[in-house]
Amino acid sequence: MRYVPLMQNIMITGASRGIGLEFVRQYNADGWRIFACCRTPGQASELNDIAARSDGRVTVHQLDVDQGSSVAALKAEIGDQPFDVLLNNAGIMGQRNAARGGIDYDAWRGCLVTNAMGPMRVAEAFADNVAASTQKKLITISSRMGSIGETSATNSIVYRSSKAAVNMVMKILANDLGPQGVIAICVHPGWVRTDMGGSSADISPEESAGGIRNVIAGLTAADNGGFRNYDGGVIQW
């Protein structure tokens, strides 16, 4: 009898650059089927190069998580395709170092739309795809900067509040979807050398994505509703 291995699959948002692109590289190297989503596929040259060399295992899909119409169009394209892992990675800083006296409220609104509502829009559209899969993992790249328990900061109100909000969103989804066997967690990727993290950040995208992939691979039902560091440590809400 011929043994045909089951191909694991993943949907990744914000796959055009940074940590999202690195996830695509690493899961591709491991032979996963990848639905790589980005705002402007025509400009995602590195992602398109990976897809072109993947024998169809990596496909690139347009997705702007701010836009309900974009999420709905992707859902219509994807249909009932199960996703072992749904990785909400897309995110923005909004306003760097926003503090009392200098808040840009339009930037704050935009940051909440992308970082808090975006993952919810995506999860709402694709929760059934995750629940129908073998692994049933819903992963959201949040940030330690969204931890209320750890915060003594007086700045970055815009970004911190957007990540605190998405933490609550995902905790609620963990409660909601846990009975269907879904494991939903938030993950802090470390301070990573990307466009967002800057060149003096602590770790490379390779180390961050590699650590998070280990966390994802090791998840069990008992981990549902957690907030984890890229190295596996638990982070306070």
Ligand X SMILES: NC(=O)c1ccc[n+]([C@@H]2O[C@H](COP(=O)([O-])OP(=O)(O)OC[C@H]3O[C@@H](n4cnc5c(N)ncnc54)[C@H](OP(=O)(O)O)[C@@H]3O)[C@@H](O)[C@H]2O)c1
Based on the shown chain and the rule CB under 6 A, indicate whether residue 91 belongs to the binding site for ligand X: yes
Q: Which helix (H) or strand (E) holds 9?
A: strand 9-12
Does residue 195 belong to the site contacting ligand X (CB under 6 A)?
A: yes
Q: Does 16 bind ligand X (CB under 6 A)?
A: yes
The reply to whether 65 sits near ligand X by the rule CB under 6 A is: yes
CA angle 191, 197, 199 (to 5 degrees): 105
Using CB under 6 A, count the residues that bind ligand X.
31
Q: Are 185 and 174 in contact (CB under 8 A)?
A: yes
* CA end-to-end span of the chain: 50
Only segment of 72-80, 188-196, 210-218, 228-236 that touches ligand X (CB under 6 A):
188-196
Q: Is 237 near ligand X (CB under 6 A)?
A: no
Is residue 78 a contact residue for ligand X (CB under 6 A)? no
Interface segment toward ligand X; rule CB under 6 A; list 61-69, 76-84, 148-156, 217-225: 61-69
Minimal distance, residue 221 CB to ligand X, in Å: 25
Q: Considering only residues 8, 9, 13, 167, which one is a binding residue for ligand X as defined by CB under 6 A?
A: 13
Residues 28-47 interacting with ligand X (rule: CB under 6 A):
38-40
Rank residues 156 and 179 by Cβ distance to ligand X and give the closer one: 156
- Beta carbons of 61 and 41 less than 8 angstroms apart: yes
CA distance linking residue 127 with residue 130, whole number of Å: 5
**How far apart are alpha carbons 140 and 69 in whole angstroms?**
21
Residue 23 DSSP class: H
Q: Is 107 in the site for ligand X (CB under 6 A)?
A: no
The least distance separating ligand X from the CB of residue 134, rounded to whole angstroms, comes to 26
| 3-state percent breakdown (helix, strand, coil) of the chain, nearest 5 | 45, 15, 40
Q: Are strands 33-38 and 58-62 parallel, antiparallel or unpaired?
A: parallel
Q: Which of these ranges, 23-31, 54-62, 174-182, 192-200, lies near ligand X under the rule CB under 6 A? A: 192-200
Which of residues 90, 157, 164, 235 is near ligand X by CB under 6 A? 90
Which string of x and - marks every residue 119-148 that binds ligand X (by CB under 6 A)?
A: ----------------------x-x-----
Torsion-angle region of 125 (φ positive above 0: left; ψ -120 to 50: alpha; else: beta): alpha
Q: What is the H or E stretch that residue 24 is in?
A: helix 18-29
Interacting residues with ligand X (CB under 6 A): 13-14, 16-20, 38-40, 63-66, 89-92, 114, 118, 141, 143, 188-189, 191-192, 194-197, 201
